[in-house]
Amino acid sequence: MEFQFLFYESNSEGVRVILLYLHFLRTWFWYMMIALLKSNVVNMEMFGLDIMDKTVLQKIVLVLVCTFLFWKIIRYMSDLLKVEKEPVTVLVTGAAGQIGYALVPMIARGMMLGPNQPVILHMLDIEPALEALKGVKMELIDAAFPLLRGVVATTDVVEACKDVNIAVMVGGFPRKEGMERKDVMSKNVSIYKTQASALEEHAAAYCKVLVIANPANTNALILKEFAPSIPEKNITCLTRLDHNRALGQISEKLNVDVSDVKNVIIWGNHSSTQYPDVNHATVATSNGKKHVRELVADDNWLNSEFITTVQQRGGAIIKARKLSSALSAASAACDHIHDWVLGTPKGTWVSMGVYSDGSYGIQPGLIYSFPVTCDKGEWNIVQGLKIDEFSREKMDKTAQELIEEKALANSCL
């Protein structure tokens, strides 16, 4: 079974169809019972029988037979709803780190793939982190998550990538004080070349990949280079964290529930050049849907402070807690995969770093953050949005940074 179809069947669509069918059967059953009791003659040609019933006893027997058949159908349909899905194998690299430690229990609890989808977790980290990784495995076992069907904790990239359906690439080489950008890129090229080759050889067909480790967009591009059998549409990077940050800032500014804010956009790179765009964003109010710009009524804030706050939020969190974002990054990773696999709500888009096809004038061949909708395990870039001059400049600036990063990565190959 193809992986995307497995997930399509795992959402609530099948349940709704079965429930509608049961409702139809119930209505038909009572209609037939009333017709039987009112009539003097019962013609059952629809069942291949021809019964001429003129007595109450015969009617009672017939009602009992129909009731029994109806009950058997109900039991059969109910059993269909109870059939457990096959477990999905999820790889998390860098699993002993902060983001990994926050992410794996979310996956095991069903936040990523839904409350009825069993999972098997494969956790990968480097040799010095092996003891910590074993500790994470012990905690997962101790938590007794009902959906968790197995845990593998390893430093062997081949073992980690074996038969994985989803790969969440958290591990990478962070930039340290005194390091040049090329040094960091060279380290990450080496890491992602090795992991991409293992996924290429050992992952399940139709494996979906989410890259989180920075530089996320370019790391995803490196992975694509060395895992050519994985479709380009199955390799993405995380900009949902930036998307969620933008939603949060608008929610705070307007004092509304964050769930009422929709359709912000993160364009470009997961870096300080990203462009958080609210030109198409809306807020659900008691008077209907309103545009964010109309409600905020402060273009100066939206075009300056709002943008820089979202761009620099990661740094602000490091300054405040002396550690990088972990909980929010893990939550965003779950949101990204959840919507990709199970679909975005109608009328809503999200931001994902995906392979550019030239949409909105962005150079093809980059992993660039676009607004996307998802359905049946596939993402599609939202088309036809109007781009003003201010936005065009911001979108091109972040695209240029990605072009430079790509050239730097190629020089390290």
Q: List active site positions.
A: 270
Count of alpha carbons within 13 Å of 364, Cβ hemisphere only?
3
260: tokens are 């009422």
Give the Cβ contact number of residue 411 at 10 Å.
Answer: 11
- Distance, CA of 265 to CA of 276 (rounded, Å): 6
- Distance, CA of 277 to CA of 133 (rounded, Å): 39
What pairs with residue 235 in β-bridges?
209
CB 223 within 8 A of CB 195: yes
- Distance, CA of 28 to CA of 37 (rounded, Å): 14
Spatial CB neighbours of 186, under 8 Å, sequence gap ≥ 6: 412
What pairs with residue 283 in β-bridges?
261, 290
101: tokens are 């430690």
Strand, coil or helix: what is 337? Answer: helix
Count how many residues are written for the chain.
413
- Distance, CA of 3 to CA of 1 (rounded, Å): 6
- Evaluated on CA atoms 6, 12, 13, 16, the torsion sign reads positive
